[in-house]
């Protein structure tokens, strides 16, 4: 179980770590071989390549992201905006330190993966995904395009995920025309996929819980067996069959993936006709260690 409240100092610490990790993924793996991140970060990387040297990645990250976060202040709230701007500042600072201050040569190749585009795409995506995932998990964001998606996606009849995906596809198409080559934009899609999956793992957990909805004619026996076997509470809801119009009881029960088979066998041993639907649950919050 997760508790939703965390001290602000701890959130800031994790957001600092998120910005540092994201900077490592971008500057050590993607930028040296001219692969592109997604969203405003990817846009900043492209602009860095086609503008004078004094306009660095860090400058574009700040110029593009901060106005978007401020624009979304009313929609997202003050705390989110402060956290997001803080995270981008840390990201920009460490990107500048790695490229211009630290004794690390990131001018022509990744210091860790060389010029291997697949390794750079995968590791750059995973590492930047960890940074972005931590930022989201602890109340901030790494990229202003997500704020724009929240504000404008519904008006355009799109989901937030579709809005972000369309933006990134257009970004990679523009990169292909600007570079007059499609190799790097195609590898950048690999980066985007790796980052997206990593963000899901960090934000929602690698091992998601499972929600079992059980419709049974023997609720008392099934309820008792589930609580005794798994030492966890069960929620009982009154229900009515849509076809038969008969009164039934629906049980709501949270388990992990390793308990699914045992749970279904147990329920069907008590009620062979029980209906069981199982879905994933990203997070489970509770103010105590038990449920009614």
Cut 0.85: pTM above it: no
Nearest Cα to Cα of residue 271 among 226, 217, 233: 217
Sequence spans of domains, the chain: 8-204, 209-281
DSSP structure class, residue 280: E
**Pair 60, 68: CB distance under 8 Å:** no
Taking the C-alpha atoms of residue 262 and residue 41, their distance in angstroms, rounded to an integer, is: 46
What are φ and ψ of residue 230, in 5° steps? -105, -5
**Pair 219, 236: CB distance under 8 Å:** yes
Q: What is the pLDDT of residues 192-243, one digit of tens each?
A: 999 988 988 887 766 667 899 999 888 899 999 999 988 888 988 888 877 7
| pLDDT computed for residue 128 by the predictor | 94
Q: What is the pLDDT of residues 85-135, one digit of tens each?
A: 999 999 999 999 999 899 888 888 899 999 999 999 999 999 999 999 999
| pLDDT computed for residue 4 by the predictor | 45
Intra-chain end-to-end CA distance of the chain, in Å: 15
Taking the C-alpha atoms of residue 253 and residue 286, their distance in angstroms, rounded to an integer, is: 14
Give me the CATH code for the 209-281 domain, please.
3.30.70.120
């Amino acid at each position: 179980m997760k508790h939703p409240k965390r001290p602000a100092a701890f959130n800031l610490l994790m957001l600092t770590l998120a910005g540092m990790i994201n900077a490592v993924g971008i500057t050590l793996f993607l930028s040296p071989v001219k692969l592109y991140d997604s969203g405003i970060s990817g846009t900043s990387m492209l602009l860095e390549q086609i503008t004078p040297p004094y306009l660095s990645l860090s400058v574009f990250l700040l110029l593009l992201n901060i106005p978007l976060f401020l624009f979304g202040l009313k929609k997202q709230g003050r705390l989110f905006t402060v956290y997001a701007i803080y995270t981008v500042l840390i990201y920009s600072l460490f990107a500048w330190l790695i490229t211009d201050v630290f004794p690390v040569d990131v001018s022509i190749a990744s210091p860790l993966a060389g010029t291997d585009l697949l390794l750079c795409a995968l590791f750059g995506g995973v590492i930047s995904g960890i940074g972005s995932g931590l930022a989201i998990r602890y109340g901030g964001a790494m990229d202003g395009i997500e704020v724009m998606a929240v504000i404008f996606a519904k008006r355009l009849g799109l989901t937030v995920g579709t809005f972000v995906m369309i933006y990134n596809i257009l970004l990679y198409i523009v990169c292909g025309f600007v570079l007059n080559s499609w190799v790097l934009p195609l590898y950048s899609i690999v980066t985007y996929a790796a980052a997206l999956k990593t963000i899901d793992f960090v934000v929602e957990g690698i091992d998601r819980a499972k929600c079992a909805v059980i419709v049974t004619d023997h609720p008392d026996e099934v309820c008792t067996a589930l609580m005794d076997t798994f030492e966890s509470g069960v929620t009982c809801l009154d229900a009515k069959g849509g076809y038969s119009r008969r009164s039934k009881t629906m049980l709501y029960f949270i388990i992990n993936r390793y308990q699914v088979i045992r749970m279904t066998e147990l329920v069907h041993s008590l009620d062979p006709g029980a209906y069981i639907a199982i879905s994933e649950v990203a997070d489970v919050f509770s103010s105590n260690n038990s449920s009614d």
